[in-house]
């Protein structure tokens, strides 16, 4: 249904767009699969750390 697709698009695709923007257009700097996996893992880790930093820096 269109409502379910809209909800999926809002929740699932937002992180990928943000990671792509952080990676300067979504291009990998490495050429082999092992390096690409490592680069993607670091990007996901950085994405997951950002909310933690934002939560700790906001005044209560």
Count: domains in the chain: 1
Over 90: is that where the pLDDT of 32 sits?
A: yes
Q: What is the pLDDT averaged over residues 7-22?
A: 83
pLDDT tier, 28 (very low <50, low <70, confident <90, very high otherwise)? confident
Q: Alpha-carbon distance 34 to 54, whole Å?
A: 31
Residue entry with tokens 């699932």: 12
Over 70: is that where the pLDDT of 60 sits?
A: no
Query: Which of 28, 53, 56 shows the shortest CA–CA distance to 42?
Result: 28
List the structure tokens of 33: 């699969």
Q: Taking the C-alpha atoms of 20, 25, 32 and 14 in order, what is their torsion angle to the nearest 10 degrees?
A: 10
Q: Kindly give the interhelix angle for 33-57 and 2-22, rounded to the nearest 10 degrees.
A: 100
Q: What is the pLDDT averaged over residues 40-46?
A: 91
Over 90: is that where the pLDDT of 8 sits?
A: no
> Domain span at residue 46?
2-57
């Amino acid at each position: 249904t269109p409502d379910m697709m809209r909800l999926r698009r809002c929740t699932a695709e937002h992180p990928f767009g943000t990671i792509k923007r952080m990676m300067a257009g979504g291009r990998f700097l490495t050429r082999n699969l092992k390096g690409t996996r490592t680069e993607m893992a670091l990007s996901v880790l950085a994405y997951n750390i950002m909310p933690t930093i934002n939560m700790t820096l906001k005044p209560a």
